[in-house]
Amino acid sequence: QQQVKQSPQSLIVQKGGISIINCAYENTAFDYFPWYQQFPGKGPALLIAIRPDVSEKKEGRFTISFNKSAKQFSLHIMDSQPGDSATYFCAALIQGAQKLVFGQGTRLTINP
């Protein structure tokens, strides 16, 4: 019930393409869904986040799509660039709690 399942584990996309990473959850008490981006040798950093009362959130080239009925959410990176090559983690949080539940991570490589 506390799990967040993320796929794919690794992804290779050509420069300029769209990168899509998917996550699914079971616990309907989750009400905050952040995505973290991690570059090699660095800790994860918050990239973008969404609450379940909206179906989409866009920040620049990064978009979260949220499907509450399916209990799924995804990260879309438009016009993917080599500088986007990183590991991406989805996560989920219960309101008022401190503990994030993380997905398994996706290693994204953007080929020039």
Q: List residues near another protein by CB under 8 A.
A: 2, 6, 9, 32, 34, 41-46, 49, 89, 93, 98-100, 102-105
In whole angstroms, the minimum distance from the beta carbon of 53 to another protein comes to 13
In whole angstroms, the minimum distance from the beta carbon of 16 to another protein comes to 28
d(CA 32, CA 94): 7
Nearer Cβ to another protein, position 69 or 95? 95
Calculate ∠ Cα 85-88-91, nearest 5°. Answer: 170
H/E segment holding residue 50: strand 45-50
Determine phi and psi for 16, rounding to 5 degrees: 90, -10
Nearer Cβ to another protein, position 81 or 87? 87
In whole angstroms, the minimum distance from the beta carbon of 99 to another protein comes to 6
In whole angstroms, the minimum distance from the beta carbon of 79 to another protein comes to 25
Nearer Cβ to another protein, position 17 or 107? 107
Nearer Cβ to another protein, position 69 or 98? 98
**Which token pair is 41?**
């040798």
In this structure, the strands spanning 101-102 and 45-50 are: unpaired
Q: Three-state DSSP class for 27?
A: coil
